[in-house]
Amino acid sequence: MRPTRAALLLAASLVAACGSAPPRPPVDPHSVPDAVPRVEPRATRGNPPFYEVFGQRYVVLPSADGFVEQGVASWYGPDFHGKSTSMGEPYDMHAMTAAHPTLPLPAYARVTNLQNGRSVVVRINDRGPFKKNRVIDLSYAAALRLDMVRDGTAMVEVRAVGPGSTAPAAPLATGGFYAQAGAFGDEANARRLAERLAAAGLASVVTVPATVGGRPLHRVRVGPVATVEEFDLLIERLRGLGIPDARLALN
């Protein structure tokens, strides 16, 4: 399913709006409560099996259960206040909401700023962001609570939560942020990728052993990086080397 022309224009506007100049806050952001997860029916709008924006296909997940990801968050604000979300609800920049490309609508998630430890629970009622290397677009209120309005972006963890959930905030990333270039069951394959990246001039390429589901796994990571800007540059470098799916990882 291809989005309508209006949807494409909205996607382009979302990309441009992320990190725009902050408005004057009408209330103390700390007085805006977290969203409270509750059982809601799957929305009749905003939940196609898949859709495409800017040539990228997004597959909508059948369920939010167990969903966890780490990546870069952005925010959107006054340019969209009162306009329709993908679910058809008016966007309220002062509510704890967010846009996500693949979680079913609506869904609830705890978003933790891994750079300062701040955490909020948001209700996901919109689609986006559609900029490369961004995993969630937060409302202005949520971005304020996470102290990321000034910078426009932050390294975050997104963890789906349900009614009665007490999922804690993720811990600070004291060991640094990395770009994970690949993960292999075969150590030799991981070593070959690490050697190729090092030969291309990337510094600090490491192979991290792990066990997942009782099986060995060897993760190839590059870093650490200290800022979103450094991470973005590293991700682009990896894409240029033929690794399009590199993602944020913690040490």
Question: Which CATH number is 230's domain given?
Answer: 3.30.70.1070
- pLDDT tens digits along 169-203: 888 888 789 999 999 999 999 999 999 999 999 98
Query: Which structural domain, as residue segments, surrounds residue 134?
Result: 5-160
Q: Tell me, what CATH number does 156's domain have?
A: 2.40.40.10
pLDDT more than 70, % of the chain? 89
In a domain, 97, yes or no: yes
Q: In the predicted model, is pLDDT for residue 151 greater than 90?
A: yes
What pLDDT is stored for residue 105 in this prediction?
98
What pLDDT is stored for residue 44 in this prediction?
96
| 117/184 same-domain check | no
Instruction: Over range 230-238, report the average pLDDT.
Output: 95
| 42/145 same-domain check | yes
Q: How many domains does the chain have?
A: 2
In a domain, 87, yes or no: yes
In a domain, 172, yes or no: no
- pLDDT tens digits along 15-73: 434 444 455 555 676 788 999 999 999 999 999 999 999 989 999 999 999 999 999 99
Instruction: Over range 232-246, report the average pLDDT.
Output: 95
Please give the Cα distance from 237 to 226 (Å, whole number). Answer: 16
| 101/23 same-domain check | yes
Q: In the predicted model, is pLDDT for residue 205 greater than 70?
A: yes
In a domain, 168, yes or no: no
- pLDDT tens digits along 75-112: 998 889 999 999 999 999 999 999 999 999 999 999 99
| 153/182 same-domain check | no
| 153/196 same-domain check | no
